[in-house]
């Protein structure tokens, strides 16, 4: 389904990205394994992180090259795309998986913590897409696969920077899908659930919470990869601008924002009328502020 396609996976040295790179190679794609190999908050670097995945792919008979640039600038992203073109002659698929966390409650979060997270996730995904788009437009084929999070779609305490970034990636995906549609380039976004180092530090004294964590531990990065490879295939030409999730053995298609109630007054609304008429009429349709039971009211099969 993706044999000989040239695929760039960012953040492919670990976790979900690594599993995606391995599965693409197994299906005969030529893979650029991009990862500067930094810490979970994006500091430092280690070239061995990407090199090890390349070695693993080559040992299994696949084709891959490493790339150590950061996605967080257009020059870094251009150099990652150049690596694909220089080694394999083209670029067919970009998987924007790279990510970091700098969690902090809103009223204590620093400007640097906000900027750093937006830079890797939003600017990184835009830069990679911008650098690859001219090639994809020219060859009239391309696949962009981005990663969001429940923090961006629903919300989470202490992750204002990450939630803003992950919601931004949904907007990036939908607008990329529109700009590139006539060139056979699709763009989709996946909300993954996988036990990796980014989430692997969570433990709890509460047995109920710990049971949930134990279940989460069974949601491996390998479960995310098949949907990514499918979305990259020729078969998935009609799938674009969609928001998916993978939760263990469960695949999900998300709804997207639409007006759900509306009222019109022919003379327009006063402040008082909004309080007396509109809000009482729509408040049964308000979304709950609590996280997620409303969104995922059942446990996944794992």
Q: Which residues are catalytic, by number?
A: 162
Among 2, 9, 13, 244, binds ligand NAD (CB under 6 A): 13
Which residues from 36-55 bind ligand NAD, rule CB under 6 A?
36-38, 40, 42
Examine residue 300 and tell whether it contacts ligand NAD (CB under 6 A).
no
Contacts with ligand NAD by CB under 6 A: the residue count is 33
SS3 state of residue 62: coil
Alpha-helix residue ranges (DSSP H) falling in 203-277: 207-217, 225-232, 271-273
Examine residue 117 and tell whether it contacts ligand NAD (CB under 6 A).
no
- CA distance linking residue 222 with residue 24, whole number of Å: 12
- CA distance linking residue 194 with residue 246, whole number of Å: 9
Give the Å distances, CA to CA, from 113 to 8, 77, 200, 254: 27, 22, 21, 29
Examine residue 144 and tell whether it contacts ligand NAD (CB under 6 A).
no
154/236 with CB nearer ligand NAD: 154
128/180 with CB nearer ligand NAD: 128
Among 9, 27, 34, 236, binds ligand NAD (CB under 6 A): 34
Q: What is the DSSP letter of 286?
A: P
x-or-dash string of contact with ligand NAD, 67-86, rule CB under 6 A? ---xxx--------------
Site stretch for ligand NAD (CB under 6 A), options 8-16, 23-31, 253-261, 270-278: 8-16
- CA distance linking residue 241 with residue 174, whole number of Å: 5
Q: Phi and psi of 20, rounded to 5°?
A: -65, -45
How many other CB atoms sit within 10 Å of the CB of residue 143? Answer: 28
Examine residue 197 and tell whether it contacts ligand NAD (CB under 6 A).
yes
- CA distance linking residue 259 with residue 240, whole number of Å: 21
End-to-end CA distance of the chain: 26
11/168 with CB nearer ligand NAD: 11
Site stretch for ligand NAD (CB under 6 A), options 23-31, 54-62, 191-199, 225-233: 191-199
Tokens describing residue 256: 């997207």
CB of 212 to ligand NAD, least distance (A): 13
CA 209-297-219 angle, to 5 degrees, is 55
Among 118, 199, 213, 251, binds ligand NAD (CB under 6 A): 199
45/241 with CB nearer ligand NAD: 45
Examine residue 163 and tell whether it contacts ligand NAD (CB under 6 A).
no
Beta strands at 250-253 and 243-247: parallel, antiparallel or unpaired: antiparallel
User: What residues make contact with ligand NAD under the rule CB under 6 A?
Assistant: 10-11, 13-17, 34-38, 40, 42, 70-72, 97-100, 120, 124, 147, 149, 192-194, 196-199, 221
């Amino acid at each position: 389904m993706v044999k000989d396609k040239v695929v760039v996976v960012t953040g492919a040295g670990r976790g979900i990205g690594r599993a995606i790179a391995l599965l693409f190679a197994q299906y005969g794609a030529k893979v650029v394994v991009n990862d500067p190999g930094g810490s979970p908050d994006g500091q430092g670097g280690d070239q061995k992180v990407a090199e090890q995945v390349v070695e693993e792919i080559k040992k299994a008979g696949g084709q891959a090259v490493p790339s150590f640039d950061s996605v967080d600038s257009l020059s870094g992203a251009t150099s990652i795309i150049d690596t694909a073109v220089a080694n394999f002659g083209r670029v067919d698929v970009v998987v924007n998986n790279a990510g970091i966390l700098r969690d902090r409650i809103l009223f204590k979060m620093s400007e640097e913590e906000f900027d750093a997270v937006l830079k890797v996730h939003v600017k990184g995904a835009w830069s990679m897409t911008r650098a690859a788009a001219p090639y994809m437009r020219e060859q009239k084929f391309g696949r962009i696969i981005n990663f969001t999070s429940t923090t961006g779609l629903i919300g989470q305490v202490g992750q204002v920077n990450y939630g803003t970034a992950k919601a931004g990636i949904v907007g990036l995906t939908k607008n990329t899908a529109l700009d590139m549609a006539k060139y056979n380039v699709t763009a989709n976004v996946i909300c993954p659930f996988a036990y990796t180092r980014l989430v692997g530090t969570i433990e709890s004294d509460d047995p109920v919470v710990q049971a949930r964590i134990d279940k989460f531990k069974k949601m491996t990065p390998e479960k995310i990869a098949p949907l990514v490879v499918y979305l990259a295939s020729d078969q998935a030409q009609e799938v674009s601008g969609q928001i998916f999730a993978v939760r263990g053995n469960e695949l999900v298609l998300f709804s997207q924002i639409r007006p759900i109630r509306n009222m019109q007054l022919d003379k327009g609304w006063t402040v008082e009328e909004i309080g007396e008429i509109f809000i009482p009429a729509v408040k049964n349709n308000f979304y709950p502020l609590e996280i997620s039971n409303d969104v995922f009211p059942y446990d996944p099969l794992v």
